[in-house]
Amino acid sequence: MKAVYKKYAPLFVVAILGAVIGGGLVMGYGPFFIGKSVPDALTQIKQEVASPTANAQLSAARNTPIVRAAQIVGPSVVGITNKAYVSDFFNRRMLVERGSGSGVIYDAAGHIVTNYHVVAEAEEIVVSLADGRTVPGKVQGVDPATDLAVVKIDPAGTQPAKFGDSDSLQVGEPAIAIGNPLGLELKGSVTAGVISALNRTLDIGERRFRLIQTDAAINPGNSGGALANADGEVVGINSIKIAVGGVEGIGFAIPINTARPIIQALIEKGRVARPYLGVVAFDKNMAEKYGYELNIKKGLYVFRLVLNSPADRAGIRVGDIILKLAGQETNSLPELRSVIEAQGVGATIPVTVSRNGEQFDVQVKLSEVPNE
């Protein structure tokens, strides 16, 4: 079924969707680089911008919480390069860079949390550490549904980040984003702003995301990097920015409290077990978009059933209208997904259905989604 995007979706380059692909995004910043190749221009940047030293004697005015947070978190932020084999004109296979992003060292065992899209379809992973070393990485597990992934490296000489409590964040407190915007040439870049909003709900396709909103600059290549508080604790994994003309300072991060159980599942099992209902359903607006006319005011019209799915086994049929799941109204696919995933695999829930004008409940036992 095609993904359906609500009003926010046309505004996004889901950085989520935006690892730097082959340097092409860098080349779009034309006026600054006139007369220079991209690598030359970035080399010039590195030469002209002095690297701050942790041992520098700073006045109280300069030694701000942002400076201290960057010094604490910076060594735990890494660059991740995604490589894959391609065939040239002569059918020779070559290993090329597909894109790059960021990651955060999660624990002393060498697990790194990043975004799924940073490592998607990688045949080789190279991790660039803050101390300048590059080491091979292996994808331990991925969760496309939340755009999270875990990469494993040799932990020798690494420094895990300190993770905070994203539920304790306050709107207006400082937010520090650390990552590799536009690729590894600008690795370890720090941008600062504030927590602009909490529990920001965005519907992207069939998924509903509850995210931290910040005005700290999050650019392509920052994906998978750290969003930290002023105490130097990682409170989010940078993921999304709005990319539309005239809009600046709107970025989003996955709250670390949301990410933690997913990260643990990826470390332990390599995947996240999720329940599913097994229906392809439309709400009224979706149906109109695809050229169907539905005479319903609320609920979801069952357009297709997955054979032997929980819905099929419970007696739900094509043409039924799903009004409620577990007592909650479901008028959109993100609402349906949210209710189902809150129940867990193996849960039995009542589903309120309307069929030929008659309303009734069926009991559905949710099972794990097959090969998501």
Q: Annotated active-site positions, please?
A: 117, 147, 223
Q: Do residues 273 and 265 touch, judged by C-beta distance below 8 A?
A: yes
Helical H segments across the chain, by residue range = 24-27, 38-48, 65-73, 116-119, 256-269, 284-289, 310-314, 333-343
Rounded CA-CA distance 319/302 in Å is: 5
Q: Cβ-count burial of 318 within 10 angstroms (0-12 exposed, 13-18 middle, 19+ buried)?
A: exposed
Q: Residue 171: helix, strand or coil by DSSP? A: coil
How far apart (Å, rounded) are the C-alpha atoms in residues 181 and 179? 6
CB atoms within 10 A of CB 32: 8
Query: Is residue 133 within 8 Å of residue 156, measured between CB atoms?
Result: no
Rounded CA separation 191/215 (Å): 9
Spatial separation of the C-alpha atoms in residues 347 and 140, rounded to whole Å: 28
CB 232 within 8 A of CB 179: no
Nearest CA to 4 among 359, 227, 292, 316?
A: 292
**How far is Cα of residue 97 from the mean position of the Cα atoms in its chain?**
21
